[in-house]
Chains A and B, each alone.
Chain A
Amino acid sequence: MENRTKHLFLKTLCLGAGLCIATATQAQDDRPLIEPDVTPVPVTEALIDTENFEIGAFVGVLNIEDFESSLLYGGKLTYHLSESFFFEAGVGFAEGGETSFEKLAGNVEVLTDSERDYSYYNINLGYNVLPGEAFLTENYAFNTNFYLIAGAGATDFAGDTRFTLNAGAGYQVLLTDSVAVQIGVRQHYYRIDVLGAEKTSMNTEVSTGLSVFF
């Protein structure tokens, strides 16, 4: 009898204790050891900083056919369509010098001072033909691009605005992901009739610039 009572009590005790421990561990499993005090924020496309635009300034030399070479400065805005293609809109300012004729004849002026102001704008399509890396040290490399570019626009020079085609190539070195330097050569072509007969004027631009991605 005594044995039976003991058995009954022990059984319920053991069962109860077991249940208690089970529920206790169950409760512990539900709760992480350290409660996070931040709620997770979903990552959406709008939160990612997209840097497809690039804005820059350049300075160089523009050889204006018949009118000497001049200091050239300007700016450009680039939109990268893909890893290979980009759109570029640029403006440039220079000043035409004197023709050989004006120098030899002395007191002759083919153009007035304001007509010698040279400015252009163009819209171009570029292609990164050779993406690459330039290795500065063993552990440090800059990303680079060799690109071809061509487009059309207008040149305001010698009193008129003329349709202008341009084509060229350049080499860009990305100092960081947001800042780049480049050096480029561009040939500008337009028809001009200031010195008598109409002809194609070829103007070579060599420039170097700095740009920022945003």
Chain B
Amino acid sequence: MEHIVIIGNGISGVTLARHIRKLSDNKITIISAESDYFFSRTALMYVYMGHMKFEHTQPYENWFWKKNRIDLVNGFVEKVATDSKKLTLKDGSTITYDKLVIATGSKPNKFGWPGQDLKGVQGLYSKQDLELLEKNAPNNEVCNRAVIVGGGLIGIEMAEMLRSRKIPVTFLVREKSFWNGVLPEGESAMINEHILEHHIDLRLDTNLKEILSDETGRARAIVTDKGDTIECNVVGLTAGVTPNIDFLKESGIALGRGVKVNRFLETSAEDVYAIGDCAEQHEGIGSRRPIEAVWYTGRMMGEALAQTLCDNPRKYNPGHWFNSAKFLDIEYQTYGWVFSERSKEDHEYHFHWRHAKEKICITIAYHIDTMKFLGINTFGIRMRHEIFDQWLTANKDIDHVMTYLKDANFDPEFYKLYEAEIVNKYNADFKKNIRLEKKSWKRIFSKA
């Protein structure tokens, strides 16, 4: 029986622990300084917004850990000695391991802005960040205006959170259109509109120059590179995240931006592994980035590493890319790869459909030479993961996707369906004559 120590109790570490317990009798210890029990980081926003209480973000009841013999240690690892296989915690105690897994996730980026460490300036990543925001911006009397810097997923979530308490929000986005490094033009433009619809002061193509302090050392305003000074009490720094690995600097483990790992998620040190946001592949897998700071990939790495640690060596081998998000009221799902104009290759072409009135649209990427289906972005329409996974595996072409689009719909019953409209536009755009097939349970459940 080995002692497997996991640093970090996020989705990666906890998925790993659960799967190790399913597969073996090893002793498992999870160390975290953030919270006693696993919670869903993606749900923190809902606690601030009053949709849930913090306890609701915990997917397992507190008895779960003891019952499954997963030891939880609340502590901060300061030192990792890989030769003696020993961890030293902040309180001076030590823990020895047979196998060590680093799953410490990320921390918000700070790019050296003047004033970035003032009071009232914060990121939104951890439980502590949430508690801080509750203190910094409990209502619109204490916080008359917040400025959010960085137009990514956390930025728009933070804007939504603050707006739920009627706090005026200015949203600085470096790009010329929201998240257009990832989203194609049409979609990015639609989200711009939706942000304005929520009375968020969206400033595109605008960077933060400095944060000004009042006499007490609290942020009182920010200055943009356009020369505007915006009075505010809270500044949200949401310009992406970086692996949270400062504590490993002296450890001798090979580090890049994250902890360098191979496909087996092994680091340069023996019996030390890294998973989740903090792991950095030597080379990105397929079109993936070397560091994937996404919920789903963290979970997959946990699933894969559990096999390896239980004498069943498995590579981290993610399948077709998928992801999801919600931009205020608009749900977003993606299956396969749809790249933005900024990053797509020459062979990738897009078919785009947008509803005349509603904030609903889809973009389908295809290969211009082969018409092979590459991926889909969908906004305001839910789609079936399994169907797109099958189509991607089977290398279906875009005509096939159009013909059987009804099979892929995952909207609740009675929803208005737009497949006919979409296929009409496709036929018009491509001068084709695709006939939409009826939804078929048989096809939906047949494994391609």
Q: Do A and B come from one complex?
A: no
